[in-house]
Amino acid sequence: MSDKLILPEHIGIIMDGNGRWAKKRGLPRNAGHKKGAEVFENISRCCRDLGIKYLTVYAFSTENWKRPKEEVEGIMNLMRSYLKGMAKAKNEHIAVRFIGDREPFDEDLLKLMEEAENADVGEVITTVQIALNYGGRDEIVHSVKEIAEKIKKGELSPEDITEELISDNLYSKTPECDLIIRPSGEERLSNFLLWESAYSEFVFMDVLWPDFTKEHLEKALEEYSKRNRRFGGV
């Protein structure tokens, strides 16, 4: 990969295709999620090594609760294993944050999430946001409710509402997303970072997430570097 590439500050990845990957191999869906989790850890380190400041990954949406109970439990157990591993890792220089509604999660998972967010990782190079029980519409509703509550308390007036204020009350506390990558061949956002993707560049790739590699990431970054981002200007 060329050293002259223009790299994004914030990458979002829709980690799609785990189930199809497993089905192709005659494996249970959770085998695909397990392989996908390994790829996530590898790509997180790749982003760190490239100096990407923020990576947001779509791990579990607000709609994913509709999946079979066994699959949901498998995903949550994978998250537990990942977080327990993080507790043992030192000086990875990767900070972890979670975005989404935490209310439905079990106490033990909530504790592991909090410990991960407070872990000593050394000097932070990359912050990884894991979108868990997350939906872009839900995030905007959350922001509106937070603002409405402040207006109700007399802390704000309706005239104070701006785009910046809405952004400040989102789950995500990162800059807007520069690049969104979606593997699996699908070409839609699926309720991911709706507010933060207003001026994102999109790269869709015909590879299932468990097969996604550093080379795929570099190819997406090369494509991003070619884009002329005008932000509504000329």
Note the pLDDT of residue 89: 64
Class of domain 10-135+175-226: alpha beta
Q: What is the pLDDT of residues 160-198, one digit of tens each?
A: 999 999 999 999 999 999 999 999 999 999 999 999 999
Query: For the chain, what percent of residues have pLDDT higher than 70?
Result: 95
Domain map (residue ranges) of the chain: 10-135+175-226
Q: Decide if pLDDT at 152 tops 80.
A: yes
> What is residue 86's predicted lDDT score, i.e. its pLDDT?
77
- Does this model's pTM top 0.85? My answer is yes
The predicted pLDDT at position 120 comes to 86
Predicted confidence (pLDDT) at residue 232 exceeds the cutoff of 70 = no
pLDDT at residue 234 greater than cutoff 60: no
* Residue 224: pLDDT over 70: yes
Beta strands across the sheet bearing 201-204:
94-99, 126-134, 54-61, 10-14, 179-182, 201-204
**Residue 16 a catalytic site member:** yes
Strands 179-182, 94-99: pairing is unpaired
The pLDDT value recorded for residue 5 is: 85
Tell me the C-alpha distance between 62 and 53, whole Å: 26
Active site residue 118: no
Specify the pLDDT at position 21.
98
Q: pLDDT tens, 8-64?
A: 999 999 999 999 999 999 999 999 999 999 999 999 999 999 999 999 999 999 999
**Exposed/middle/buried for residue 220 (C-beta within 10 Å: 0-12, 13-18, 19+):** buried
Q: What's the chain's average pLDDT? A: 94
pLDDT in tens, 81-140: 999 887 666 678 999 999 999 999 999 999 999 999 998 888 999 999 999 999 999 999
**DSSP for 177-221, written as a single string:** PSEEEE-SS--S-SSSSTTTTTT-EEEE-SS-GGG--HHHHHHHH
- Please pick, among 64, 77, 169, 211, the residue that the annotation labels catalytic: 64
Question: Euclidean distance between the first and final Cα of the chain, in Å?
Answer: 29
Given a cut of 80, whether residue 153 has pLDDT beyond it is yes
pLDDT for position 15: 98
The helix or strand, by DSSP H or E, that contains position 171, with its residue range, turns out to be none
